[in-house]
């Protein structure tokens, strides 16, 4: 009986020690810059790579998210982070994306929707939602004073809100 308790304590200490060393090893990154463990890691992300809510629910149901959190902590490179790819694409191609969303179509717009995993049959609805949101953003008086990263962030927010309903 005592042996089981001691083994349990030892495993807990080792697990926490490994977790803290992994966190310390990633200390050079800005807080929050890693993957979202429930959405981007674990079994849920493997089963539902483009659907955040089912991914998170699956991770919680499977093992209360332990595997997902461990993946994010110990090996974040194994987690899918589609949104990071989307954000990079938007900031790298912002002028083209604004032009495409104004037209309602274009290769850059289709590319970013593909990155987000938005099926072609759902793209027209998503484009309409993004166009509506971006037109409101651009018409605001504060838009002219924003730098590229703020404008790209607005586009990212509009896009990820609209693609949340995409299905493959």
Cα dihedral sign, 107-109-112-118: negative
Q: What angle do CA 168, 80, 128 make, to 5 degrees?
A: 40
Spans of all domains in the chain:
2-27+34-78, 82-163
pLDDT at 44: 67
pLDDT at 10: 45
DSSP assignment of 46-79 equals HH-TT-HHHHHHHHHHHHTTHHHHHHHHH-GGGS
Spatial CB neighbours of 121, under 8 Å, sequence gap ≥ 6: none
pLDDT at 19: 43
User: How far is 90 from 115, CA to CA, in rounded Å?
Assistant: 11
pLDDT at 23: 41
pLDDT at 142: 92
| 10-residue averages of pLDDT along the chain (168 residues) | 54 44 43 62 66 70 68 62 74 94 94 88 92 94 90 87 73
Spatial CB neighbours of 158, under 8 Å, sequence gap ≥ 6: 129, 130, 133, 134, 137
Here the tokens at position 68 are 């997902």
pLDDT at 88: 79
User: How far is 83 from 56, CA to CA, in rounded Å?
Assistant: 15
């Amino acid at each position: 009986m005592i042996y089981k308790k001691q083994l349990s304590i030892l495993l807990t200490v080792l697990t926490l020690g490994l977790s803290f060393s992994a966190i310390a090893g990633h200390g050079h990154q800005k807080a929050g810059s890693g993957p979202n463990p429930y959405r981007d890691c674990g079994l849920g992300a493997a089963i539902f790579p483009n659907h955040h809510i089912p991914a998170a629910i699956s991770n919680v149901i499977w093992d209360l998210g332990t595997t997902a959190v461990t993946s994010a902590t110990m090996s974040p490179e194994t987690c899918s982070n589609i949104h990071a790819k989307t954000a990079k694409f938007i900031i790298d191609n912002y002028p083209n994306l604004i032009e495409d969303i104004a037209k309602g179509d274009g290769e850059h717009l289709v590319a970013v929707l593909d990155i987000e995993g938005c099926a072609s049959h759902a793209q027209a609805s998503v484009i309409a939602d993004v166009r509506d949101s971006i037109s409101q953003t651009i018409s605001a008086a504060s838009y002219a004073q924003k730098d590229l990263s703020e404008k790209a962030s607005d586009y990212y927010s509009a896009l990820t809100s609209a693609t949340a309903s995409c299905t493959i």
